[in-house]
């Protein structure tokens, strides 16, 4: 059974459809990539699933997580699900981290809030999570404020926060795009290891086809808010059927290595 089942999801801004009747499912432990050019609707799809659409946009259709209809979930119930049943890593961690709260506390907070651990146990668990995402000195990192860490280290913190509730679904939206290539690969490995250890389903958004090939089992190709092609990542990238996918591929570094 699917962990996430999206059916005919449409995101509207007034009369304008930005995401148009997209349908896909993600099974337990499955890793699904969402690719497409800038503006194709990738982030809005993620925001719709997280219940975090910008003001003025609305979603129609159906988004089921573990059988529960998210589009009919109240904001109060949604806030119980976020960080627990589903969580997200954004491209720019600074926008999601609290600049005036120590990092360890930010990792621990969700666990306390969701009643997973008491404050003392959560504090210890936070340091363990920071170690698991390979922050060099996790005890010291826990005491740091976000601005005292590098971009790569902040993204590791975001990942620790996202994994702290053992989510059924993790969404990553261009998680390594803002990072140096030298740290990108390691962060991707940590995302894979973190989700594999928890059996979490992964929705992985990227415009980088080499990344989707290394991370995902299946891929969805988004064009103008519509899924124009989907399937096994190897099959889609080695024998794309849609002309748009071929164009994406031709514009990527993968083309030469095929
Ligand atoms: N708050 C908003 N109001 C109106 N249009 C928006 C809003 N956010 C995004 N869009 C539009 O929706 C489309 C898809 O955006 P987005 O999902 O962010 O694309 P992607 O993540 O694939 O680059 C774009 O054309 C964008 O301009
Ligand atoms: Mg985006």
pLDDT value for 186: 94
pLDDT value for 258: 45
pLDDT value for 251: 87
Q: Whose CA is nearest to atom 14 of ligand 1?
A: 41
| pTM as predicted | 0.96
Tell how far the Cα of 32 is from the centroid of ligand 1, in angstroms. Answer: 21
| Mean pLDDT per 10-residue section of the chain, whose length is 258 residues | 95 97 98 96 98 97 97 96 96 90 97 96 97 96 96 96 97 93 93 97 95 96 98 96 95 66
Residue 199 Cβ inside 6 Å of ligand 1? The answer reads no
Chain position carrying tokens 């993968």: 254
pLDDT value for 19: 98
pLDDT value for 97: 95
CA separation, residue 119 to residues 111, 123, 142 (Å)? 8, 6, 14
Domain boundaries, the chain: 2-257
Residue 20 Cβ inside 6 Å of ligand 1? The answer reads no
Residue 91 Cβ inside 6 Å of ligand 1? The answer reads no
State the fold for domain 2-257.
Rossmann fold (3.40.50)
pLDDT value for 128: 97
Residue 207 Cβ inside 6 Å of ligand 1? The answer reads no
pLDDT value for 125: 97
Q: Whose CA is nearest to atom 25 of ligand 1?
A: 39
pLDDT value for 133: 96
Tell how far the Cα of 227 is from the centroid of ligand 1, in angstroms. Answer: 16
């Amino acid at each position: 059974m699917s962990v996430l089942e999206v059916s005919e999801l449409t995101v509207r801004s007034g009369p304008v459809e930005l995401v148009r009747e997209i349908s896909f499912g993600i099974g337990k432990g499955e890793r699904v990539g969402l690719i497409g050019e800038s503006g194709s609707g990738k982030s809005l799809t993620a925001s719709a699933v997280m219940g975090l659409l910008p003001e003025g946009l609305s979603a129609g259709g159906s988004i089921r997580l573990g059988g529960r209809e998210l589009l009919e979930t109240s904001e109060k119930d949604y806030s119980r699900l976020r960080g627990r049943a589903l969580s997200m890593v954004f491209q720019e961690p600074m926008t999601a981290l609290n600049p005036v709260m120590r990092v360890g506390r930010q990792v621990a907070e969700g666990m306390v809030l969701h009643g997973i651990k008491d404050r003392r146990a959560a504090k210890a668990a936070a340091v363990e999570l920071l170690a698991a995402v390979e922050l060099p000195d996790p005890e010291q990192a826990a005491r740091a404020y976000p601005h005292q860490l590098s971009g790569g280290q902040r993204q590791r913190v975001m990942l620790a926060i996202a994994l702290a509730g053992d989510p059924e679904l993790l969404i990553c939206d261009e998680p390594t795009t803002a990072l140096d290539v030298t740290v990108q690969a390691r962060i991707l490995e940590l995302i894979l290891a973190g989700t594999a250890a928890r059996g979490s389903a992964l929705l992985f958004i990227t415009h980088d086809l080499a990344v989707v090939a290394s991370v995902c089992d299946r891929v969805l190709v988004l064009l103008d808010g519509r899924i124009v092609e989907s399937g096994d990542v190897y099959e889609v990238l080695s024998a794309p059927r849609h002309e748009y996918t071929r164009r994406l591929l031709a514009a990527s570094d993968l083309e030469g290595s095929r």
